[in-house]
């Protein structure tokens, strides 16, 4: 049963529920405190993962930029 709940939450957060199912799910959220808690946890985890992916991407870009300038400086020294 719990797996079905997580699948419903995923479907809702992914926006793949049809309008009627989404409205029914929203009503369930209002009436079921355990579902609301699970939903809050899943939504928070997704947001945390998105931020982490963004931070990892930013760090990769910074590292690539640093590598580029180090290589550029190295190449200009060998040209002299």
How many Cβ atoms sit within 10 Å of the Cβ of residue 36? 13
Measured distance CA(1)–CA(5) in Å, rounded: 7
Rounded percentage of the chain residues whose pLDDT exceeds 70:
92
Give me the pLDDT at residue 80, please: 56
Alpha helical stretches, state H, the chain: 2-14, 19-31, 33-79
Between 80 and 66, the higher pLDDT residue: 66
Task: Say what the pTM is.
Answer: 0.64
Is 26 within 8 Å of 19 (Cβ atoms)?
A: no
For the stretch 32-67, pLDDT in tens is: 999 999 999 989 988 888 888 877 887 887 788 888
Measured distance CA(6)–CA(14) in Å, rounded: 12
Measured distance CA(12)–CA(22) in Å, rounded: 6
For the stretch 1-36, pLDDT in tens is: 466 888 999 999 999 999 999 999 999 999 999 999
């Amino acid at each position: 049963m719990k797996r079905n709940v997580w699948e419903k939450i995923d479907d809702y957060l992914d926006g793949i529920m049809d309008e009627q199912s989404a409205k029914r799910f929203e009503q369930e959220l209002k009436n079921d405190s355990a579902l609301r808690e699970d939903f809050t946890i899943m939504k928070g985890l997704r947001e945390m993962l998105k931020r982490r992916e963004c931070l990892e991407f930013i760090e990769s870009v910074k590292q690539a930029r640093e590598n580029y300038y180090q290589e550029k400086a190295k190449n200009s020294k060998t040209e002299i």
